[in-house]
Structure 1
Amino acid sequence: MHDIVDLETRGVPAMFIASDVFVQAAQSQANALGFSTVQRVFVPHPIQDRTDDEMRALADSAYDSIVAAITKN
């Protein structure tokens, strides 16, 4: 999160992707850093046990949301 905030304050569009179990933690961290509007995309948890094909499908399903988050003003 610190890296995302740093990039954004430098004018570099940034966002992060995390598992959906981290929604509340991510918002708390963003609030603590004074950057509650940081762009983010959450994907279904867990990640670590997924096959390569499952990860590709997950990435494909999140793609439009990721592009929207990184290009949002």
Structure 2
Amino acid sequence: MTFEAILPQLKAGAKAVRSGWGGGEEYITLVDHQNYEGIPVTPYFLIKVQGEGFSVWEPTGCDALATDWQPV
């Protein structure tokens, strides 16, 4: 599945991963509709990595063009 195809699912609250990653990456998720000190925060992606927790994530060119995305 392409990133363009998985993106609507991420926007709906799903989690996704690339089968080609093959490391400790468990999934990415889109964080939306948050506030900090009463001010809206722009949406952002998090990646869950086994044994490390969550980090902010941005798709690379390879991620954006990959066809191995799958819902979790």
TM-score, normalising length: structure 2: 0.25
* Structure with the bigger percentage of strand: 2
TM-score, normalising length: structure 1: 0.25
Indicate the structure whose relative CO is greater, using CA pairs within 8 Å and at least 6 residues apart.
2
* Structure with the bigger percentage of helix: 1
